[in-house]
């Protein structure tokens, strides 16, 4: 089984955290995409031209980070990341969906301007002034106020939020979007988790991926200049 992508992608990393929580990191090979985002090579493998996607040994293919994470949750032993009650499961799904629909598209515009040097000023303005403050306020509103995003156990909602915290902490500071101000539940949740083994390992993978991408971009620019 091969998971294709790179850990700087919060959608890819959400699936990797799921493997880590399950103790199944060794069960899945992590592979870089066959070409740049949107390239013909990547579109041949995944029609959206995006990462992540999962390739199963029998040729089956599963795209979309949350769908892959749920497949891992059902495939491997270990703690169940889907809360047991219908209400808590709905709350966890709501946080994942909010991150995917209201947060991710905006963090992407900011990340892209740093990792790919593509500055879409209109998208950055929309993210900084409206999109991210709304996304962060929605998450603050949905946080239960306890140790975990939902209920009293680690769930998909925590799994989805952890990689986005890396993007918030690394990319937002360049753009003057405050993360914790006026969001006490998010601040308390982060304080509780930021030094946990799962978060430290995840953010280490993400930092290494960022360094790898920045070096690759610098090398490509240097080659263009010669």
Ligand X SMILES: N[C@@H](CCC(=O)N[C@@H](CS)C(=O)NCC(=O)O)C(=O)O
d(CA 154, CA 167): 20
Residue 19 phi, psi (nearest 5): -65, -40
Residue 71 touches ligand X, criterion: CB under 6 A: no
- Site size for ligand X (CB under 6 A): 12
Binding to ligand X in span 21-50, by CB under 6 A: 37-38, 49-50
Paired tokens of 72: 């891992």
In 3D, which of 23, 57, 31 has the Cα closest to residue 197? 23
Residues in contact with ligand X, shown as a per-residue x/- string from 133 to 172 under the rule CB under 6 A: ----------------------------------------
Cβ neighbourhood burial of 14 (10 Å; 0-12, 13-18, 19+): buried
Cβ nearer to ligand X, comparing 167 with 183: 167
Judged by CB under 6 A, the residue of 3, 11, 19, 22 near ligand X is 11
Judged by CB under 6 A, the residue of 28, 65, 148, 158 near ligand X is 65
CB atoms within 10 A of CB 173: 11
Cβ nearer to ligand X, comparing 7 with 155: 7
Residue 64 touches ligand X, criterion: CB under 6 A: yes
Cβ nearer to ligand X, comparing 38 with 47: 38
d(CA 195, CA 177): 23
Cβ nearer to ligand X, comparing 4 with 149: 4
d(CA 143, CA 157): 9
Cβ nearer to ligand X, comparing 65 with 151: 65
d(CA 75, CA 99): 24
For residue 52, cis peptide bond before it (omega within 30 degrees of 0): yes
Least distance between ligand X and beta carbon 36 (Å): 8
Least distance between ligand X and beta carbon 110 (Å): 12
Residues of the shown chain interacting with ligand X in the complex, contacts defined by CB under 6 A: 9, 11, 37-38, 49-52, 64-66, 100
């Amino acid at each position: 089984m091969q998971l294709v992508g790179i850990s700087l992608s919060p959608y890819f990393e959400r699936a990797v955290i799921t493997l880590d929580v399950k103790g199944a990191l060794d069960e899945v090979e992590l592979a870089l995409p066959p070409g740049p985002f949107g390239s013909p090579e990547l579109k041949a493998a995944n029609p959206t031209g995006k990462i992540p996607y999962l390739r199963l040994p029998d040729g089956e293919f599963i795209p979309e980070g949350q769908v892959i994470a749920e497949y891992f949750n059902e495939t491997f032993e270990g703690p169940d990341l889907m809360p047991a009650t219908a209400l808590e499961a709905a709350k966890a799904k709501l946080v994942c969906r909010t991150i995917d629909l209201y947060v991710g598209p905006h963090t992407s515009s900011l990340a892209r301007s740093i990792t790919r040097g593509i500055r879409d000023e209109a998208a950055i303005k929309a993210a900084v002034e409206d999109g991210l403050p709304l996304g962060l306020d929605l998450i603050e509103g949905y946080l239960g106020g306890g140790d975990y995003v939902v209920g009293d156990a680690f769930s998909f909602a925590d799994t989805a939020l952890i990689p986005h915290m890396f993007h918030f902490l690394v990319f937002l500071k360049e753009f003057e979007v405050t993360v914790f101000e006026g969001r006490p539940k998010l601040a308390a949740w982060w304080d509780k988790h930021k030094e946990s083994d799962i978060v430290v390992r995840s953010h280490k993978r993400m930092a290494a991926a960022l360094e790898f991408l920045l070096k690759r971009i610098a090398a490509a620019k240097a080659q263009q200049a010669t």
